Structure 1
Amino acid sequence: MAGTVAVLLCSNLIGPAKACVVTLPVIGIVTFGAGNLFFPISYIFGDVMTEVYGYARARRAIWAGFGAMIFATFMSAIVVGMPASPTSDYNKLLQPALETVFGNTWRIVVASMAAYWVGDFVNSFVMAKMKIWSEGRHLWMRTIGSTICGQGIDSLLFYPIAFYGLLDNATLASLMVFNVLFKIGVEVAFTPATYWVVNALKRAEGVDTYDRDISFSPFSLKDEGDTKSLK
């Protein structure tokens, strides 16, 4: 949970609006938001939590991340809005920088929160359901399949809410497609590490949770999965 919240906050506070440009073989020049470099790691944490501890634990982590984002947004607004001391020369440099970095528009804030909340719940839901369907086999298929669904919804919500009308439709569509493919690529690249962490946690905790007969409502915090003891 701590890792999920940390990655989420850093991805939304450090460089989300910075546009980076790289030249890739065959594809050519690609533009993407710097915050997207590390955001997919939060989905990996979510996959691990859902696989080992179940949907109910992942649901609590999602709400913790959502609450942290609300607090960070509130704190940013207060700090940026507080009158700066006119006697401090440093404030003449700091205040404009704070406004640039933390003074996100309401569209960016709403888009980030909506995309994260829906995308993470979709990711955990698909992960939990696929575990039951596959009877716990083929972890790679579940992590990648849930990421395709969760990150797809995330990008479909974030970019139109944040940038529709500001970017032309072709650019908006290309950004969405690239970011979905990039995030899926990160999931694929980290699959061996995910296997190692999941297996290590299952051995250490002695549990393997299957989410049978529970409520998948995002607003329930009580239901537990069918925990299989490995001890």
Structure 2
Amino acid sequence: MAHFLSNKVNKLFLILGGFFVANAIVAEFIGIKIFSLERTLGLEPMNLSLFGVDGLGFSLTAGVLLWPVVFVMTDVINEYYGQKGVKFLSYLTVGLISYAFVMVFFAIWISPDLWWRDVSGTLVGNEVSDMDLAFRKVFGQGLWIIVGSLVAFLVGQVIDVFVFHKIKKITGEGKIWLRATGSTLISQFIDSFVVLIIAFYIGGDWDLVRVLAIGTVNYLYKFVMAIVLTPAIYFAHFIIEKYLGKKDAERIKKQAMHS
């Protein structure tokens, strides 16, 4: 293990992979909260109309705050560790998220202590009369939402990897922004609709038009964030090449390209 960690390339993969997995898991759990982007920015909510669906605004799951970061990490890992590296971390992440939800549902199932349920919520100055109910509401996401988000994540990752390397084969080492941002925009487009179709069209009672309308609004946010975060790709490349050295960075990028 000491020899493994003494290698900067291995250590970097552990750091990037840990950050990737942690962001994905946190995004899943905070995704239960719906927030208003406009009100957060101090603006009045928009009243958009798409596909005949009125009253649309940027009401987003809190998970979207982290998913763009996950896709940026995907492109960075893709650049230096190739398709195998990204796929390994993607499958690992899906497995760990699934495990985390199993543990959460087990925690929901076990019987609460009566003092904690009825009394503890009033000791911190709030008005939570049933702590167990609050726990269930916060962590008890629906099965179809979980399945939808996991499938969308995995499909999005596979598409991101594929498009990234297709663009890189055409452009070579140049135009980092094109392969990174381009692959993210395409994969996020698929992700935005897959999760809604599975969670709320197949698993719920939404009609397809509403799914398309809300998916479009969600994608507009992701589109803007992908563009805004493009400089972060270049910054990550700068830090990595500073850490590994130009020679080793170029070597593992070539290996990643042909893996």
TM-score for both structures, normalised by structure 2: 0.75
Q: Which amino acid aligns with 1:7?
A: N
> Mind listing any 5+ residue stretches in structure 2 that lack a counterpart?
1-16, 39-43, 49-55, 122-128
CA deviation map 1:15-66 (0-9, x unaligned): 4342536246796843222221221110000011101222211122112211
**Counterpart check, 1:226 vs 2:258:** yes
Aligned length: 215
Q: Distance in 2 between matches of 1:103 and 1:120?
A: 26
Cα displacement (A) at 1:203: 4.2
Instruction: Give the equivalent residue in structure 1 for 2:77.
Output: 49
Instruction: Give the equivalent residue in structure 1 for 2:206.
Output: 167
Q: Check the 8 A contact 1:52/1:202 in 2, yes or no.
A: no
Please state whether the residue corresponding to 2:130 is helix, strand or coil. Answer: helix
Q: Distance in 2 between matches of 1:111 and 1:29?
A: 22
Q: Distance in 2 between matches of 1:25 and 1:104?
A: 27
Please state whether the residue corresponding to 1:167 is helix, strand or coil. Answer: coil
Q: Check the 8 A contact 2:32/2:138 in 1, yes or no.
A: no
Q: Which amino acid aligns with 1:174?
A: A
Q: Distance in 2 between matches of 1:16 and 1:39?
A: 14
Between the aligned residues of both structures, percent identity stands at: 25
Instruction: Give the equivalent residue in structure 1 for 2:97.
Output: 69
Cα displacement (A) at 1:225: 4.5
Check 1:183–1:21 CA distance in 2 against 1; reply closer, same or farther (3 A cut). closer
**Counterpart check, 1:78 vs 2:106:** yes
Q: Distance in 1 between matches of 2:167 and 2:101?
A: 34
> Mind listing any 5+ residue stretches in structure 1 that lack a counterpart?
212-223
1:139 corresponds, among 176, 197, 217, to: 176
Cα displacement (A) at 1:87: 4.4
Q: Which amino acid aligns with 1:82?
A: I
TM-score for both structures, normalised by structure 1: 0.83
Instruction: Give the equivalent residue in structure 2 for 1:123.
Output: 160
RMSD after superposition: 2.4
Q: Check the 8 A contact 2:57/2:217 in 1, yes or no.
A: no
Q: Distance in 2 between matches of 1:153 and 1:4?
A: 20
Instruction: Give the equivalent residue in structure 1 for 2:22.
Output: 6
2:188 corresponds, among 151, 168, 172, to: 151
Q: Distance in 1 between matches of 2:95 and 2:108?
A: 20
Q: Check the 8 A contact 2:27/2:66 in 1, yes or no.
A: yes
Q: Which amino acid aligns with 1:123?
A: D
From the two aligned structures, give the one with the greater helix fraction: 2
Rg: which structure is higher? 2
